[in-house]
Structure 1
Amino acid sequence: MNKQLHRMGSLKTLAGLLAAAGLAGTVLAGCADANSQDGAAAAPPPPPVSAALVIEKPVAETQEFSGRLEAVEVVEIRPRVSGYITAVHFRPGADVKKGALLFTIDPRPYQAEADRAGAAAGAARARADLARLELQRAERLLEDKAIAQREFDEKAAAHKELEASARAAQAQHEAARLNLAYTRVTAPIDGRVSKAEITLGNLVDASAVLTSVVSLDRIYASFDGDEQTYLRVGARRDREAVVKVGLVNEEGFPHAGKLEFVDNQLDARTGSVRMRAVLANPERALAPGLFARVQVGSGVAEPRIVINDRAVGTDQSRKFVVVVGSDGKAEYRPVQLGPVVDGMRVVRSGLKAGEKIVVGGLQRVRPGAPVTPQIVPMDAALAARDGATLALHAAKE
């Protein structure tokens, strides 16, 4: 009897333990299900981004370089004769015309030399004229057999010698008159004069630099172009390159010019080639030595892939964009870029027209992760505004 009671108690204990175990399993299963549901609810949605379709349109490619303005004509004014400066006739930095008087060198010694040479030339001419008359008389006497042939020959030779002496004396007179004229130092070109480097009362010779004059009606913009620009515009003589220039205080490139010079070889060390454009300067606003931003284009529009520059990211030395695939996932895509034209970046390789790329919210995208694209036009201002809106939205979240 006691054995039966003990067996029945053991069965009841076992049943209680099994019931407790089942209840615990149920509780644990319920907790696991709750945790899985909470995890699913906590998973963040794909980040919102601005995306635009890659477009292809005719673009006249341009390239920008740094350069300097140079004068077309630069003249150092030096005296041709020595002497004391007796007058300075210009204001420093003034515009002068060709032939304008700049300096006067004491002309008195040169005037005296010119007068002496003139007198000597006159005397030599008088002797030559007398010899000519004597030769004419000798010709008549020779016809009448009144003189010997030898005497006639001597008079003919004397006449030639005196004619040569007269011409030499006349040449010396002309040289003296030139030296006298050189005492008036004039501007050889139209342009702007510098200051007087040597002032009144100083003794000068031909080695001295009195001042300088630079032309300003036209001006050069010299720069070093790259190999691609040379192949696009420098080597194509059948096309006229379009050159525009802007100064440091100007927006854009308001000064139009013409490519005037391309060097005959490229520098193998730097891969650059010397180029020069010429610009009209009617208002004399452009001065030699100014820094210039030079834009060079072929002037011929060709189909090019263009994107918003905000869509471009940098991975060390490589440029990339993020393409939104058909499955809504982000794809890392390296690209080769060209210049910026009308606010849009030219893409030389890596993209095709019609592909969808991220133009706003690029910092929240991971390659291979899904995104929520919001389609916007491929426009610089609109994409910038949309990118700012998405950034504000992300900050609020």
Structure 2
Amino acid sequence: MFKRSRRYGRIRPSTFAIAAAMIAVPLAATQLASTRADAPAEVAAPAATPVTVAHPLVKPVSEWDEHSGQFRAIESVEVRARVSGYLEDIGFEDGQIVKKGDLLFRIDQRPFQAELDAAKADLTSADAVLANAKAEYERGQRLLEREALSREEADRRGRALRQADAAVAAAKARVDQAALNLEFTEVRAPITGRISDNFVSEGNLIAGGSQGGTLLTTVVSLDPIYFEFTASEADYLKYVRGAGDANGVDMRDNPKPVFGKLMDEDNYVHEGRLTFLDNQLDPSTGTMRGRATFPNPDGVLAPGMYGRLKLQHATNAAGVLIPDTAVQTDQNEKFVWVAAGNNTAERRVVELGPVIEGMRLVRTGLDGDDRLIVGGSQFLFASAPVEPEFATSEDNQQLAAIGR
């Protein structure tokens, strides 16, 4: 039974209809949702991503190591005077090329000329004494045969002859020394090369001698020229094993060519030969000292210059080359995307080598039959469907060079 409302009185029949409708709508919605949840879901498959692919280039390649180093003169001489005196003349222009034997400096020769003249005079006097002693000795021998001279006097004359002969030899030595000192007043170029400036001006007193001599200038040879560098133990082992002899005999007896470039050069345009490797590694650094020799006819390569050296250490019969732009990085891993046989994206971890002829060498992870994705890989993920299209010359010359 329904109670009457004291305020509103009797309940109208339309009130029941509205309440029933309010209850029925949520129930219908609940049933409809339950029906849709039980039905199987229909998800649309993702569209295939258009990508550009190319086969890696497979061809014989040579691997090269690059080393930094410095050019050094094969011959470098500090020019010092052998005798002391006042500098009288300078016979070169600063920085010019000089030939071996060219006159560089002249020291005042007058004191040394005087010494030579005195030594020659002493030699003349010694010759006269020797001639007299010889005559006395010969005369004494004739008198001794006739028993007109005592044995003691004959012996004395013999000793005098020998002393005079020794005095002549000493005088000749003094003449030679004086002539040599006079010659040393002309300081000549010991080697052919480029000379520095004169460190001492004319009129200065030059200290000569083997120790403490005044440094006058320096001369360095230019053609050929050394390039010195250091290589790690790992690089050294790669090179000698690539040369075919673990002991390095082939490497030292038959040095391979090397190529160098200067700081303002993009390509390795200077060709030389590896001419020296040290006999042991430096225990403090674990490196091996090496040296290459470069021809330098135009004198562009100067001692002290820094440069880069490219040194071949191995030749691979079949190297796999790809564009460097196709390589991606995930933390410490290098990987590329390839189009698998079912046209899905496959992530391939690779081990990389050096850049050779503008292409990256791949040691492991790829072969020549793989379809390497070289374009359109920005939004790829593993097993994503792809629509591969081979690169053409219109797309990119570098990609076409490795495509088939």
Question: Who is 1:278 aligned against?
Answer: 293
Tell me, in whole angstroms, the C-alpha distance in 2 between the residues paired with 1:132 and 1:289: 65
Choose which of 207, 212, 217 in structure 1 pairs with 2:218.
212
What are the Cα deviations for residues 144-175 of structure 1, in whole angstroms up to 9, with x where unaligned? 44333333322222222222222112112211
Matched pairs, number: 369
Q: Name the amino acid aligned to 1:237.
A: V
Question: Who is 1:89 aligned against?
Answer: 91
What are the Cα deviations for residues 210-256 of structure 1, in whole angstroms up to 9, with x where unaligned? 11111112111112223344224355432532201112222311111
Q: Which runs of 4+ in 1 moved over 6 A?
A: 17-33, 377-380
Question: Who is 1:142 aligned against?
Answer: 144
Question: Do 1:240 and 1:298's aligned partners in 2 also have CA atoms closer than 8 Å?
Answer: no
- For residues 69-148 of structure 1, the aligned pairs below 5 Å read 69-148=71-150
Question: Who is 1:253 aligned against?
Answer: 268
Going from structure 1 to structure 2, the CA distance change for 1:162 and 1:336 (only over 3 Å counts) comes to: farther
Question: Who is 2:153 aligned against?
Answer: 151
Tell me, in whole angstroms, the C-alpha distance in 1 between the residues paired with 2:25 and 2:184: 129
SS at match of 1:240: coil
Question: Who is 1:54 aligned against?
Answer: 56
49-58 or 272-281, which moves further after superposition? 49-58
Q: In proportion to residue count, which structure has more helix?
A: 1
Tell me, in whole angstroms, the C-alpha distance in 1 between the residues paired with 2:199 and 2:306: 26
Question: Do 1:54 and 1:355's aligned partners in 2 also have CA atoms closer than 8 Å?
Answer: yes
Question: Who is 2:362 aligned against?
Answer: 347
What are the Cα deviations for residues 323-369 of structure 1, in whole angstroms up to 9, with x where unaligned? 43334343443333222222222223333442333333443333443
Q: CA deviation at 1:122?
A: 2.0
What are the Cα deviations for residues 308-328 of structure 1, in whole angstroms up to 9, with x where unaligned? 222222334443333433343
Q: CA RMSD in A?
A: 3.5
Question: Who is 1:237 aligned against?
Answer: 249
Q: Provide the identity percentage.
A: 40
Q: Name the amino acid aligned to 1:92.
A: D
Question: Do 1:310 and 1:360's aligned partners in 2 also have CA atoms closer than 8 Å?
Answer: no
SS at match of 2:348: strand
Going from structure 1 to structure 2, the CA distance change for 1:169 and 1:355 (only over 3 Å counts) comes to: same
Choose which of 224, 228, 232 in structure 2 pairs with 1:222.
228
Going from structure 1 to structure 2, the CA distance change for 1:119 and 1:376 (only over 3 Å counts) comes to: same
Q: CA deviation at 1:131?
A: 1.9
Tell me, in whole angstroms, the C-alpha distance in 1 between the residues paired with 2:266 and 2:25: 86
Q: CA deviation at 1:304?
A: 2.5
Going from structure 1 to structure 2, the CA distance change for 1:28 and 1:385 (only over 3 Å counts) comes to: farther
279-288 or 304-313, which moves further after superposition? 304-313
Alignment gaps of 5+ in structure 1:
1-9, 387-397
Question: Do 2:72 and 2:225's aligned partners in 1 also have CA atoms closer than 8 Å?
Answer: yes
Going from structure 1 to structure 2, the CA distance change for 1:273 and 1:150 (only over 3 Å counts) comes to: same
The answer to whether the aligner puts 1:382 opposite 2:373 as a matched pair is no
Tell me, in whole angstroms, the C-alpha distance in 1 between the residues paired with 2:285 and 2:342: 46
What are the Cα deviations for residues 59-98 of structure 1, in whole angstroms up to 9, with x where unaligned? 1221222221111111111111111111111111111111
Choose which of 33, 41, 47 in structure 2 pairs with 1:45.
47
The answer to whether the aligner puts 1:180 opposite 2:182 as a matched pair is yes
Alignment gaps of 5+ in structure 2:
1-15, 241-246
SS at match of 2:215: coil
Q: CA deviation at 1:276?
A: 0.9
Tell me, in whole angstroms, the C-alpha distance in 2 between the residues paired with 1:19 and 1:105: 124
Question: Do 1:343 and 1:380's aligned partners in 2 also have CA atoms closer than 8 Å?
Answer: no
SS at match of 1:167: helix
Question: Do 2:392 and 2:400's aligned partners in 1 also have CA atoms closer than 8 Å?
Answer: no
Going from structure 1 to structure 2, the CA distance change for 1:226 and 1:244 (only over 3 Å counts) comes to: same
Question: Who is 2:67 aligned against?
Answer: 65
Choose which of 348, 354, 357 in structure 1 pairs with 2:372.
357
